[in-house]
Structure 1
Amino acid sequence: MTKSSVPGGRRGRPRHPIGEGGSALKGLVGAAVVVVGGLVLPVVVLVGIALMDSDAKAAGATAAGGGGGGLRNVPAAFRSWIVAADAACGEPELTPALLASQLWHESRFETSRARATSRVGAQGPAQFMPGTWSTWGRDADGNGRASPWDVGDAVTAQGRMMCSLLGQAKSSGYGGDPRALALAGYNAGWGRVEQFGGVPPRSFAGGETYDYVRAILAGTARFQGPGPLRIAGSGAGADALRRAGAWRGTPYSWGGGSPAGPSTGFCDGVNGYAGGACSARSTVGFDCSSLVQYAYWPSRRLPRVAAAQYEATSDRPVSRAVLRPGDLLFWSRGGAGGIYHVALYAGEGAVLHAPRTGREIDVEPLTSAMPQGDYFAATRP
């Protein structure tokens, strides 16, 4: 997309208007959704081993790549930055889902220079023009450079700019949804909002700003996931449950996930398929046991698969009557060797788990999370 004409500027009917002092963002030419290519099993295993051998890397990924923050349908690389950008803003109208919808509209979460460079020079997943980037860009990810191509830097700048615009919108006296006003300012420049006393009408710039605002607000529901799990108390179990609960709404991916966070999985001839195709190879997420492993890492280095996790913790069995948050629950189709599923006890008769292909990490009643007759045991790591 291109910029709109401004006094003394471009002529014609460009599709993405940029006003004086505006964000100078633009859409993409031929943008495509990022699809992570499938990894063959040996590569997945090697990556997992490398991650498990580095406490620093795993802990760093947890801090910087942590929770889902009530999001769904958002690439793992963007989740924690979106949540952090929202948390840094004191305006309640800004939400992770709104930021995610805006990023989708701008770039489809693209990060490659080939796909995320506009015809007018806007760059990166948040589509900043160089002049606007100089105002809002910061080295948020601490890699020594402030770059619109770095996800953390771009999303942090997007959040900071939207937060400022929301403040302007609420103090402006203009009627309407302050989110709409802020989005219009982000797209066309706050000068255009002042010019029209609100969101520019459909007659302005071929309806680009008008449609931009409507599309992002309408798309917010697509990215709104369940809220973070609230856990009272402290200790290893409660802390593990908090870590895992931050990823509610993340897809199940057979063989996916590691101590560093979600990843694509693989198919084994039986598992990981949806509609006859191997969905795990293109789905970034966790399976049941990788979620549990992630939850306790690195303070408790649990094995990767459910049966091995039971073996590693079976010397600390727990009765269902005295379960605590973070305890592990196992389901089996034939003794310890037949264990096929593991979940974290979430309190009040519920579990947090990654159920199966086609589902997402969520909280469900213990009595219906898996077949009751398959319930095998509970342990405390």
Structure 2
Amino acid sequence: MKVLIRAVAAVIALFVLAVIGLLTMVLVDADAEATEVSDGGGGLRGVPEEFRPWIFKADQECKEPELTPALLAAQLWQESKFKTSEKEATSRAGAMGPAQFMPGTWATWGRDADGNGEASPWDIGDAVMAQGRMMCSLLKQAKASGFGGDPRALALAGYNAGWGAVERYRGVPPESFARGETYRYARDILANVPRFQGPGLLEVSGSGTGPDALRKAATRMGTPYAWGGGGPLGPSAGFCDGRNGYLGGTCVASSTVGFDCSSLVQYAYWPSVKLPRTAAAQYGATSDRPVSRQDLKPGDLLFWSHGGSGAIYHVAIYAGDGNVLHAPRTGRHVEVAPLTSAMPDSDYYGATRP
């Protein structure tokens, strides 16, 4: 993080680190063997491999829907262009590492996320997870503040200049503040988010009902979640039932064209396997073909329950390499996520093979 205001004899001196560059976008064509997919929260592309798992993990740990992998990636690009060396990722103000943390701020947010025995702003895992935690907290503040504008812009401004600057101006500080550095920081990151959004490339190997269903579902990555929406023919508007389909107290499902968890599965397998509509019914229709967690194959169905087969509340498609493809919840999109964190691991009920 670049906090560029330093007090010198009661006069504020501003140090601005200009970050200018072009990102070469990765263009991927979908076909039967290599399907276009997003990797979570609307997708991710053009990001170095060593950053990708940490960006997804940081996104998964934040429950604020405004935080997406693409937003975190665009912010890292603005901060450091994904550089990790001391020479390339140290600002004139003293900010350090790929996420540009000042020492005082790092003391608040830094943890040993990668388990190497040291919490360091130079470690990719430590830095990205700290970035995600701080942005998640700032997004909560932004939405609770009552200030106008995009809460993402407010959070980014808080990351760059401190939340106090946002409170002072009751919004993103104007161009007259800090020579426009904070204003441009928020503006440029949001403008770059589409460059980092999916699709990425997921190789689905093999043939047969399961891999074919996974390929079909993967073409819907990035589609919004809509409670009650979707079916065999594709996404559709959902509905609210008094408990589900709401975001921030507002019914959003009825105005969102998308899938919920079970309609995505039904769509993926249709018409080869005509599964019923709900997750519990899909378990009932396939429970005679159980699969152990150690023997999962792409296309297998995974279920989560609050207790027993009658309380199944979520279904996902196994995507290989310990990941699942699913429609997680209101406010999110069809995405790929680690099996261990897609839903509470303690709720995992079992898997079947349609």
- Matched residues in 2 for 1:181 and 1:131: separation? 21
SS at match of 1:119: coil
One-letter code aligned to 1:113: E
Show the counterpart of 2:76.
103
Alpha-carbon spacing, 1:228–1:325, altered in 2? closer, same or farther (3 Å): same
Unmatched segments (≥5 aa) in structure 2:
25-37, 223-296, 300-318, 320-354
Q: Which residue pairs with 2:161 in the alignment?
A: 188
2:4 aligned residue: 3
Whole-angstrom distance in 1 between the partners of 2:8 and 2:136: 27
Deviation of 1:11 after TM superposition, in Å, equals 3.1
Residue identity opposite 2:5 in structure 1 = S
1:84 has 2:57 as partner: yes
Cα deviations across residues 42-93 of structure 1 (Å, max 9, x unaligned)?
Answer: xxxxxxxxxxxxxxxxxxxxxxxxx943100101011111111011001001
What is the aligned partner in structure 2 of residue 253 from structure 1? none
What is the total number of aligned residue pairs between the two structures? Answer: 204
Whether contact under 8 Å (1:68, 1:80) holds in the other structure is no
Identity within the alignment, %: 65
Matched-pair contact (CA < 8 Å) for 1:241–1:325: yes
> Match of 2:12, SS?
coil
* Residues in 2 aligned to 1:228 and 1:168: alpha-carbon distance in whole angstroms: 35
**What pairs up with 1:259-298 in 2 under 5 angstroms?**
none
Higher relative strand content: 2
**Who is 1:72 aligned against?**
45
Residue 117 of structure 1 pairs with residue 90 of structure 2: yes
Partner of 2:133: 160
Alignment of 1:259-338 (within 5 A): none
Of 93, 99, 102 in structure 2, the residue corresponding to residue 126 of structure 1 is 99
Task: Give 2:175's aligned amino acid.
Answer: R
Conserved in 2, the CA contact under 8 Å of 1:81 and 1:155? yes
Deviations 1:190-210 (A, max 9, x none): 000010111000011110000
Q: Is the 8 A contact 1:86 1:96 kept in 2?
A: yes
| Corresponding residue number in structure 2 for 1:280 | none
What amino acid is aligned across from residue 83 of structure 2 in structure 1? E
Return closer, same or farther for 1:172/1:68 CA change in 2, 3 Å cut-off: same
Q: List runs of 5+ in structure 1 lacking aligned partners.
A: 17-26, 35-66, 250-323, 327-345, 347-381
The C-alpha deviation readout for 1:238-262, integer Å capped at 9, x for no partner, is 6x969xx79x99xxxxxxxxxxxxx
**Where does 1:136-147 land on structure 2 (aligned, <5 Å)?**
136-147=109-120
Q: What is the CA–CA distance in structure 2 between the aligned matches of 1:194 and 1:96, rounded to whole Å?
A: 26
Q: Secondary structure at the match of 1:208?
A: helix
After superposition, the C-alpha distances for 1:143-165 in whole angstroms (9 at most, x for unaligned) are 11111111010000000000000
Specify whether residues 147 and 10 from structure 1 end up closer, same or farther in structure 2 by C-alpha distance, changes over 3 A only.
Answer: farther
Query: CA shift at 1:118, angstroms?
Result: 1.5
Choose from 149, 154, 157 the match for 2:122. Answer: 149
Secondary structure of 1:216's counterpart equals helix
Distance of aligned partners of 1:7 and 1:188 in 2 relative to their CA distance in 1, 3 Å threshold: farther
SS in 2 for 1:12: strand
| Structure 2 residue identity aligned to 1:71 | L
The structure with more radius of gyration: 1
Name the stretch that deviates more: 4-13 or 145-154: 4-13
Find the counterpart in structure 1 of residue 325 from structure 2.
Answer: none
What root-mean-square deviation, in Å, do the aligned CA atoms of Structure 1 and Structure 2 show?
3.8
The 8 Å contact of residues 45 and 200 in structure 2, kept in 1 or not, is answered as no
Instruction: Letter of the 2:48 partner, please give it.
Output: P
Whether the 8 Å contact between 1:187 and 1:209 is mirrored in structure 2 is yes
User: In the superposition, relative to structure 1, how do residues 205 and 147 fare at CA in structure 2: closer, same or farther (>3 Å)?
Assistant: same
CA separation of 1:14 and 1:225: change in aligned 2, threshold 3 A: same
Provide the rounded CA distance (Å) in 2 between the counterparts of 1:8 and 1:204.
19
1:178 aligns with 151
Query: Deviation string for 1:96-145 (max 9, x for gaps)?
Result: 10000000000000011111112222111001111111100011111111
TM-score, normalization: structure 2? Answer: 0.51
Equivalent residue in structure 2 for 1:169, among 100, 118, 142: 142
Q: Which amino acid aligns with 2:16?
A: R
Contact preservation (8 Å) 1:31, 1:107? no
Change (3 A) 1:152 1:196: same
Q: Is the 8 A contact 2:15 2:93 kept in 1?
A: no
